[in-house]
Chains A and B, each alone.
Chain A
Amino acid sequence: MLSKKLAIEVLNKMLETGADYSEIFFEDSIGTGITIENGKVSTSSTGITSGVGLRILKENRCVYGYTSDLTKKGLMSLADSLNKSFNGERILTVDHLDLIKAPNRNPIKKSYKTLTQEEKIALIREGTNAIEELKDPRIVRYIGSFGSNYRFVAVYNSKGKWFKKETEFARLAYSVVVADETGMETGFEGPGCQDDISYFRNKVKPRESALKAVDTALLMLSAKECPSGKMPVVIGNGWGGVLFHEACGHPLEASAVSRGLSCFAGKEGEMIASPIVTAVDDSTIPNAWGSIDIDDEGNLGTKRVLIKDGKLVNFMIDDFNGRRMGKEGNGSCRRQNYKYCPTSRMSNTYIDNGKSNPEDIIKATKLGLYAVSFNGGSVDPTTGEFNFGCSEAYIIRDGKIAEPVKGATLIGKGEDILKKIDMVGNDLALAQGMCGAASGSIRTNVGQPTIRVSEILVGGRGGELK
């Protein structure tokens, strides 16, 4: 951490040439990871991320630099090189720094730093032992891993504010490879939280996660190739929400909206989705994977309704991109670490509960696809074009879940899909992911109840759906 005196000096150095905002982001984080492969601990490692990122703003221009040289000389020389981007007179001087008090909605009772290697290994083994006990010859390789992180950040800015924040988070992951004479498939489960290890004992069970990864892989091994063409698609709860995250969440970030580079730019107040859709980004859910108490600009985390009954009402906004939109930041400014210039990002983003029972949604579908889970996907926020690969999917026949299918890809445009959602379930669930964008890879929850889209183009190798 920097002394207030040094922070003020560096902030003022940045303001020397006429900038209207300066900011110091200090980080000192430590992460550890252990991997068990085919029953034996294969690697254990430690990583330290430590450095400072300096940001200077003037109107719509942003200058950013980082260094891991934390000496006064190192910081002042970086500040000096960055302020060269502007050539005006000083308009602002910082003379004090007041502490911003943020709530602590993500308390950790027992720090991961106090856990022994043995405790972490025992946790992973609950799952890997369960896989071993299956003695299924089709399982050719299985890996369990546990990664935990302690992150300390302190931010100082020219508004005369500063804060510090400690965060701890962890993720348990299982991946398996199964094979038989027909081929090879993979399965993955990776629950994570901003909570202590009790989460992995009480809320999720390592054994269940590990066996779920095996089940998915084996199911896909026996699955037929997915048929292709346009069809109704029922998308499962939890991980199914990655589709909304990619196709609609990213285009609702101020980084795209403020430059008019989003398919939803200028559509505030308009109906952009079916009236049964309400979508939310909520960074205040206690101990959730994507939650933040305070963002990198010192704005407190908030719950933002993005789409209310189909109408676009809000965006994820950071102060800098907000300048172009004439809006204040709403607690969305995030980054992976000090090496990234921060920008507007999602936290826990989900489609809210609707009225239908998930069973009724399946029942109401004569012929279509039930996409339970995805490997991931991507989107072009300007056009809204997206693609998703299904990791678990079934054909729905006469209102019943029929045969499993593999190799299904859903593609389309976010704008179209939102309007084509014709049923929303009441079984909202969240799932943990890592989201990669301009400011790096950050923790985000995706989520939704079971929903149905009346028509999506499905790509697959199985010919026409009959």
Chain B
Amino acid sequence: MKFDRFFELAKKAGIEEAEFTFSSTSSLSFSLFHGEIDSYSNNKSYSFYARGIYKGKMGSIASDVYNNKMAEYFVEQIIANASVVENDDPVFIFKGSKKYRKINTFNRQLGNIPVEKKIEIAKQIEKELKNADPRIVEVATVAYDETSNSTTIINTHGLKLSQKSNFFAYYGSAVAKEKEQTKTGFELYFGNDFEKFVPTDLVKAIAKETVSQLGGFPCESSTYKAVLAPSVVSSLMSAYISSAIAEDVQKNSSLFIGKLGQKVASKKVTVEDLPINKTVFAKSFDDEGVATSNRAIIKNGVLQTYLYNLTTAAKDGVESTGNGVTSGSKVYTAPTYLKMKPGKKSQEELFKEIGNGVYITDVSGLHAGLNSRTGNFSLQSTGFLIKDGKIDHPLDIITVSGNLVKLFNSVSYVGNDSKEFMSGTNCPSVIVSKLVVSGK
């Protein structure tokens, strides 16, 4: 696509610097119910995002459609939006980083695999799942998603950057019944190398997730030693690391104000942002066109850096960390791929280590039950009681509550069972010394 007309009109209208981001997304998805495809979808869409600096302020417009006739409207909207801005935050159309790391995580093969084969695998998963355990009474869904995206940024400083990514996911959910109790389980596999996917492993994981919670009952309300499963660590860690976003620190609404170089977690905790590692989340530049780089955010419990975009970096007199994410006329900040460094102990060894306590396998309701500005949380959970170092019984209808600062400072062991999640995280299990559990 060419955007010359836009840049020409923008210049004439007095927009000092301008930028166009063009992205195209194709996706394929389908789901099965009772052996048949009950939904199938095949899509192609575009996104056109233009922004510009007018009289020192940033204005923008985003659209699903664009043609030369719309160039004038785009320019008008940028000016109209920039004209009302009052705050004095420095704004940037970026000139470019010195060096961009080449990242090659786009897998050409994925799109070439015939849809029929992808459907066949889903059918196999559904069939195996239905027979995986006599208590499984229904396979709610087995589904496939595949997305490929390409993004190009062009601006008036001559910067032109492109990157491509793709991934696929198989997921399924089943329903199990025993006596009066109904439980559902969900598991997902994602990646972009089709060869690596083992359908039977996904079946086992969904079945385990579905039936393992049957026969559960609440434990006594009390404070327990706890092993938190990787998915739980992922949810809580993402919320905790959001405190490292510089804008919130600058605006006095973060847990990490004044904490740079200080202890914010136990020395067992090291968390890194790894945008250039070979994952499906990898990117060589952020939404502002700044080159990304790997860095430790928390090292042995000590906060190493805040996360910056160009605006917040300029305010603190540092360089952007390449974590800019545009939305509307605003540039937000977010980590790309968060990895907590694993430890040495296996899950069994972690259970032995706590002796008696709880193993929390899932927390839900994070948007309502967790306040990342205060760190307080109170969440619906599932898990198991641990007795004499072994799993005793499933826990039904319990909540866990605490505070993220205290929780991450009380991590005494980190496991070696790291798992990668769709939210762009990679976490192991951990032991925390105190967790308030409400049950009976």
Contact = CB atoms under 8 A, between A and B. Distances in A.
Contacts of B293: none
A251 to B, nearest CB: 12
A461 B41 contact: no
A85 B37 contact: yes
B348 interface: no
Nearest to B28: A65
A409 B378 CA distance: 6
Contact of A461 (B83, B175, B373, B376): B376
Contacts of B398: 411, 459
A65 to B, nearest CB: 5
A47 B401 contact: no
Contacts of A63: 39-41
Given A140-B251, A385-B380, A459-B400, A185 B329 contact: no
A198 interface: no
B140 A41 contact: no
B253 interface: yes
A136 interface: no
* Chain B interface category by residue count: 35 or more
B413 to A, nearest CB: 24
A387 B366 CA distance: 10
A45 B82 CA distance: 9
B87 interface: yes
Contact of A407 (B63, B328, B401, B439): B401
Contacts of A408: 378
B438 A385 contact: no
Contacts of A459: 369, 378-380, 398-401, 438
B36 A61 contact: yes
A45 to B, nearest CB: 3
A377 B37 contact: no
B253 A140 contact: yes
B438 A229 contact: yes
Nearest to B373: A184
B200 interface: no
Interface string A369-380: 000001111101
B195 interface: no
A387 B221 contact: no
Q: Which one of B65, B81, B368, B399 has the highest number of Cβ atoms from chain A below 10 Å of its Cβ?
A: B368
A140 B253 CA distance: 7
Interface stretch (B8-16, B43-51, B275-283): B43-51
Interface string A117-159: 1100100000000000000000011000000000000000000
Given A60-B38, A64-B39, A261 B378 contact: no
B419 to A, nearest CB: 22
Contact of B37 (A61, A263, A374, A389): A61
Given A34-B84, A42-B87, A48 B378 contact: no
B379 A68 contact: no
A377 B397 contact: no
Contacts of A118: 84
Q: Which one of B60, B89, B373 has the highest number of Cβ atoms from chain A below 10 Å of its Cβ?
A: B373
A409 B379 contact: yes
A42 B89 contact: yes
A407 B376 contact: yes
B5 to A, nearest CB: 17
A461 B402 contact: yes
B64 interface: yes
Given A228-B436, A387-B399, A459-B378, 18 more contacts: A33-B328, A41-B85, A41-B86, A45-B329, A47-B61, A60-B36, A62-B40, A64-B39, A66-B41, A185-B371, A185-B374, A230-B440, A375-B368, A406-B376, A407-B378, A407-B401, A459-B369, A459-B379
Interface of B: 33, 36-46, 58-65, 77, 80-89, 138, 140, 175, 182-184, 218, 221, 251-253, 255, 328-330, 364-365, 367-371, 373-374, 376-380, 397-403, 436, 438-440
Interface of A: 33-35, 37-38, 40-51, 60-70, 78, 81-82, 85, 117-118, 121, 140-141, 177, 179, 183-186, 226, 228-230, 259-261, 263, 339, 341, 374-378, 380, 382-383, 385-389, 406-409, 411-413, 457-461, 464
12 contacts: A41-B84, A43-B58, A45-B61, A46-B61, A61-B40, A141-B251, A177-B252, A228-B401, A228-B438, A376-B368, A386-B380, A459-B378
